[in-house]
Homo-oligomer: A and B are copies of this chain.
């Protein structure tokens, strides 16, 4: 049995973990200081107020307050190449030396060409072919250590900063604000849960058990008399297109009340399903329209299509029709990154 003192210490740290002290502090201040006044910011504030005020017709009990966030292009920069893919690119030359036949596959060929345009043009399934070949045959713990070691030294090629700096400050504020109001925050990424979960707590305050992603099978084996789980070159869960919401609902048994995404390739159906679910729901789509501070891309702005985080005109029209919040990075965000002046 725990001594009472340590129970009280735990109570205090639990309050901190729940963000409640933050909520008390920020109750007098703006919870979304990096957002400009406007319809998007107001819609988020209204949603939280209406779903967390007891007696409100839209009140959501604390246990059902689930919010899910796409990662690439929603919580951090995805252009021109997904960060996860940068992580695996360094492994490719050695792997192709060992298995020369891989050089024929489009993903491997693009990487070996070192042509960033070719790499950026790969579609999700071509990317996964490379991921499966490079991120197999190790335990999930070993992969987690490698990912975190890489993130400590890797720098992005445009800002020359660690990738944690490329998370969007306004979205970090939304995560904290939702948690301060009793929401459990989840990641729902099209990328690999085995890559994202190891850093999700440090980068976003989201524990690994709340990270949903495409997932490679694990296989139980006895190695030197010791049980281990080995990553297999096989996708057990594919969070592409509708797979993201199908797998989230299957695994967690809950439909989020708030869904954040940006891409027609894996967020559209999730945003659509959440918004159409009973009760007051919030679907937020981030439009990358800020070529100066970040990037501008996607047909919804009349820009060329791109396999990385495309935002189609069809998705834009659907969002307008269904009452999603469409966030303009250019107009709705006062700052994009914490490192800006």
Contact = CB atoms under 8 A, between A and B. Distances in A.
Given A24-B7, A227-B276, A49 B220 contact: no
Contacts of A254: 208-209
Contact of A220 (B8, B66, B245): B245
Contacts of A18: 11, 14
Range for the number of chain A residues in contact with chain B: 35 or more
A15 interface: yes
B193 A250 contact: yes
Interface string A301-330: 000000000000000000000000000000
A128 to B, nearest CB: 16
Interface in A57-104: 62-63, 66
Most B-side CB within 10 Å, residue of A2, A182, A193, A242: A2
A261 to B, nearest CB: 14
A29 B8 CA distance: 17
A273 B207 CA distance: 22
Nearest to A231: B250
A298 B242 CA distance: 44
Contacts of A216: 250
A52 B276 CA distance: 43
A2 B23 contact: yes
Given A1-B27, A6-B52, A217-B250, 5 more contacts: A2-B23, A14-B182, A63-B207, A184-B209, A218-B249
What 5 A-B pairs are tightest by C-beta distance, nearest first? A208-B253, A220-B242, A197-B253, A209-B252, A218-B246
A171 B13 CA distance: 27
A17 interface: yes
5 contacts: A7-B27, A63-B207, A198-B253, A208-B252, A220-B242
User: How many copies altogether?
Assistant: 2
A32 B273 CA distance: 44
Contact of A6 (B14, B28, B53, B63): B53
A172 interface: no
Contact of A218 (B13, B217, B250): B250
B140 A249 contact: yes
B246 A66 contact: no
B11 A15 contact: yes
Given A207-B63, A208-B252, A229-B273, A27 B13 contact: no
A24 B254 CA distance: 31
Contacts of A208: 252-254
